[in-house]
Structure 1
Amino acid sequence: MDMRKPYPSDLTDEQWALAEPVITAWKAQHPSVSGHQGKYAMREIVNAILYQNRTGCQWEFLPHDMPPPGAVKYYFYLWRDDGTDQTVHDLLRWHLREKKKRLADPSLIVMDTQSIHVSVGVPATTTGRDAAKRVPGRKRCLAVDTLGLVVEAVVLPASAHDNAAGTALLDGVAAQTDRVEKALVDQGFKKTVVDHGKRYGIDVEIVERNPADTGFVPQAKRWIIEQTNGILMFYRRLVRDYEHRPASSRSRVFWAMTSVMARRLTGSTLASWRTA
């Protein structure tokens, strides 16, 4: 890494060591046509992606002491399309689960959706209006384990029913692991999702809300996904959906959680904008 003053979002040496094997292996498999190793260090490319995720800046507003926007965009889109972003993310998730004395993949997941506004310029064909929550935009759908770590993420128009979100999440989870036995969901998910889970041997339980409850009341085990949604809100690129393609929005979730897990694995913290 060039000798520059680090930004708070930069990976430390210890954190970079967690992701570096995947990135180095990827680089070895994708040599340039001319045979050179590239002008920019891969660690700096990753740092630039994490900086943008945390600050929410536009591509052209990346700091001058980082690789140019064109180079960062090139790798962001390439890693999004070939799944390298998720490979790095999943590796850290497995490490963190094992550090917590858990098996690499969970047997229980929690699924939920969150409707978010989109930025000006996001194609209308990829957005919709969530009539129940009165939010025009997109629906961010997550499946997390009991530690709040993301197992799968799907981004749909906000008008999509939770059934569509649930079936897509189950498809993604089942494609990754056959260990998941149970999924907890709220009452927005219906029998369609329950039946879809049976195809994969996953028992989907719709957790009923206590009619006597008023306001927000955390539900046992299901509350962890609300914590994950709250953590993602510290990453300003995720507060509103700025991405033209839902696949990019999904990638942003993986990069945000990669940052979170790298800090947890190394016992470090990152100050929020609410920190005095």
Structure 2
Amino acid sequence: MTDAQWALVGPLLPPPGNATDKGGRPEKHPRRLVLDAMFCLARGGIAWRQMPSDFPPAMTVYDIFRRWVKTGAWQRVHDALRDRVRARAGRRPLPTAAVIDAQTVRGADTVPAASAGYDAGKKTRGRKRHIAVDTLGLLLAVVVTAADIQDRDGAHRLLTALRARFSTVARVWADGGYTGRLVAWAGQVLALTVEIVKRTDKTAGFGLLPRRWVVERTFGWIVKHRRCVRDYETLPEHHEAMIYIAMIMTMSRRLTRNTDQ
């Protein structure tokens, strides 16, 4: 991280254990170095035990990562940065529309069979990440499931999470894979209007589809971080955290662009 990125992200991290009334030992390693180690792992796609020796011990970094997953710290840091990006773009913090899609990623041998599945359409064994983004492509919600879960079934969990976090969202755009009972269910249960954006038969070759290209670009941002190209995480919630970290890195760079380092 640059100095500007650390000044932005550092204050958003959870307080040390010994800074609360619950006690706890002082942290041995600087937080900036710990966060740099996590960012290095996410960007480079390395294993925890292959972390360079100039970082704190790998298992120490992993324990902090896991603790922050359990407390929801990654999502809180991400959401704070997303609000700042929206404000800089002249948008209100709470979005009124979203775009959803799903992406299947191959699972490594570290992914337990109990939480993985086979996507017959993509001929891939692993997990599937379902995401909802705003019209700027910023992440609003993410749910990781086994790859054999249909997009429509995963969207039930995704839209439920989206509604729980954002009461202001009224319209959701999706591709043809979400056609069916999901549209009626979302309207009746969640008060969400799901609009299907279909590809026309007259279109030949590659073409940007209205609204849908936004979420595809977000997937592109995510897979720039090699840890997210495949799923290496034992727990689905750890993979969700890696997606949040990828977006934290993306947004912190955007917010500190053209800032003195």
Same topology, TM > 0.5: yes
Count residues with an aligned counterpart: 258
SS of structure 2 residue aligned to 1:16: helix
Q: 1:83 aligns with which of 66, 72, 76?
A: 72
Cα-to-partner distance string for 1:168-226 (whole Å, 9 max, x where unaligned): 11111111111111100001113332133222221111112201223432211210111
1:49 corresponds to 2:38: yes
Q: 1:121 aligns with which of 110, 113, 126?
A: 110
> Conserved in 1, the CA contact under 8 Å of 2:197 and 2:210?
no
Q: How does 1:216-235 map to 2 (within 5 A)?
A: 216-235=206-225
Question: Sequence identity of aligned pairs in percent?
Answer: 35
1:237 corresponds to 2:227: yes
CA distance in 2, matches of 1:169, 1:22: 25
Aligned residue for 1:65?
54
- In the superposition, relative to structure 1, how do residues 32 and 52 fare at CA in structure 2: closer, same or farther (>3 Å)? farther
**Which amino acid is 1:151 matched to?**
L
Deviates more, 1:57-66 or 1:17-26: 17-26
SS of structure 2 residue aligned to 1:125: helix
Shift of 1:27: 4.9
CA distance in 1, matches of 2:121, 2:208: 20
SS of structure 1 residue aligned to 2:200: coil
CA distance in 2, matches of 1:89, 1:230: 18
CA distance in 1, matches of 2:11, 2:53: 27
CA distance in 2, matches of 1:157, 1:147: 28
TM-score by length of 1: 0.88
CA distance in 2, matches of 1:117, 1:255: 19
CA distance in 1, matches of 2:150, 2:140: 21
Q: 1:213 aligns with which of 193, 196, 203?
A: 203
Q: 2:159 aligns with which of 141, 158, 170?
A: 170
Aligned residue for 2:249?
259
1:130 corresponds to 2:136: no
CA distance in 1, matches of 2:25, 2:234: 32
CA distance in 1, matches of 2:225, 2:17: 27
CA distance in 1, matches of 2:14, 2:8: 11
TM-score by length of 2: 0.93
Q: 2:90 aligns with which of 86, 101, 110?
A: 101
Cα-to-partner distance string for 1:123-163 (whole Å, 9 max, x where unaligned): 11111111122222111111011111111111111110111
CA distance in 1, matches of 2:39, 2:138: 18
Deviates more, 1:36-45 or 1:229-238: 36-45
Q: 1:185 aligns with which of 174, 184, 196?
A: 174
**Which amino acid is 2:252 matched to?**
A
State the 4+ residue runs in structure 1 displaced beyond 2 angstroms: 24-33, 190-193, 213-217
SS of structure 2 residue aligned to 1:188: helix
Cα-to-partner distance string for 1:96-140 (whole Å, 9 max, x where unaligned): 000100011211110000111111231111111111222221111
Aligned residue for 1:158?
147
Shift of 1:50: 0.7
Gaps of 5+ in 2: none
Shift of 1:26: 5.8
**Which amino acid is 1:90 matched to?**
D
> Conserved in 1, the CA contact under 8 Å of 2:85 and 2:251?
yes
- In the superposition, relative to structure 1, how do residues 24 and 136 fare at CA in structure 2: closer, same or farther (>3 Å)? closer
> Conserved in 1, the CA contact under 8 Å of 2:108 and 2:232?
yes
1:23 corresponds to 2:13: yes
> Conserved in 1, the CA contact under 8 Å of 2:18 and 2:25?
no
CA distance in 2, matches of 1:26, 1:245: 25
